[in-house]
Amino acid sequence: MTMVSSHWPLLLIVAVLVVATAGCLREGTAGVTGITVEPVNVTAGAVVLNVSTTIQHWSGPGVGAGMLRVEVLDDETGLRVHEGTRKFDPVRPGSTVVVSYELTLPRRGSYRVRASLTGVGVQQAGGEVTVRSFERLPPDDARTPITITDMDFLVRGVEHGRARIEAEVQLTNQGDGPNLDLVVEIKAREADARLLADRQWTTVGSIRPGATVTRNVTLSVPDQHNYEVEAVLWSGDVIVERGSRSVNLAPNTTATGGKEFAVRRIDTGEFVTARETGVMMPVLTPTRTPGFGGPAALLGLALVLLGRRRHHD
């Protein structure tokens, strides 16, 4: 599952914003050309964010000191959850200034961060970015170099309407030192009903820097359903990493015009794979007729003759 990783700033860092109102901004003398949001501090319940707003001079004489206004809206409800201002220095012709502003939000949910300018020579205009998945940011005291880099699945058996799916989770130490004691929770959730079909746990153990290891668990799930299999990396009672993949035992196919859907019937048993042992086992060549093979028959005949000889003696 990349899966989601220890590169936690990448979850929130927003690249240079292409402001949709650029045409309007150019009518003034200065405007917002970019907003970057990145975490400064993460605790179990909150995230401290730094909002860096880039202000660029567009045309005409320089712009005097102005005011940057930052507001945060809940992405689901549209309600304002934060609002504040920060002064910025005069902007000389052709130059750019970056204004930083820190704010604190709950470690959950999705938010829209808006930045706008007011002041002499600045029009009422700005831009916004969306930040989400705060719960995927591990707290600073639980951060780990271990990342979930991939997941694979093998069918180990099908019986009585249930499939045994072995999940292989690849874990990589992307740091330069030892890792904390971690455990992996692997769970299968039915894609439509969102019901949890099975859940298993396994330990991670020590992984040397730069190395990748595989941890396996076997999940027992009802056959002919589609699942989202999620791997959750725990450090104590704190989630530090997540990753997921889909396992479709009843995949949907689109029929005509994208309006009709049909369910493909897959015989899961056709994908059953024997468990690898790492030891080469001899393969016996079957005979056409039942009974002993040639060497065994000769050995039996020799024993019979030896027995008769001893009896005569």
- Using CA of residue 296, residue 298, residue 299, residue 305, what is the dihedral sign? positive
Residue 247 near residue 241, CB atoms below 8 Å: no
Task: Find out whether 275 and 216 touch, Cβ atoms under 8 Å.
Answer: no
Phi and psi torsions of 266, nearest 5° = -115, 130
Do the beta carbons of residue 70 and residue 105 sit within 8 Å? Answer: no
Q: Nearest 5 degrees, angle CA 155-CA 157-CA 163?
A: 75
Q: Which amino acid is it at 158? A: V
The hierarchical CATH code for the domain 8-136 is: 2.60.40.10
Extents of the domains making up the chain: 8-136, 144-271
Same fold? 8-136, 144-271 = yes
pLDDT in tens, 160-203: 999 999 999 999 999 888 777 899 999 999 998 999 999 999 99
More confident residue, 213 or 313: 213
In the numeric block, which tokens belong to residue 302? 């020799």
Topology (CATH level 3) of domain 144-271: Immunoglobulin-like (2.60.40)
Give CA–CA dist 253/196, Å, rounded: 24
pLDDT, residue 180, reads 78
DSSP conformational letter for 64: -
Q: Pairing relation of β-strands 238-248 and 252-254?
A: unpaired
Average pLDDT over residues 258-282: 63
Residue 283 to residue 170: CA distance in whole angstroms: 32
* Amino acid symbol at 303: L
Give the per-residue pLDDT at 166: 96
Give the lowest-confidence range in 118-132, 210-224, 239-253. Answer: 118-132
pLDDT digits (tens, 9 = 90+) for 289-302: 334 344 444 445 45
* CA–CA dist 179, 200 (Å, integer): 22
Distance of CA 226 to the CA centre of its chain: 19
Instruction: Tell me what the mean pLDDT of segment 244-271 comes to.
Output: 73
CA–CA separation, 17 and 33 (whole Å): 7
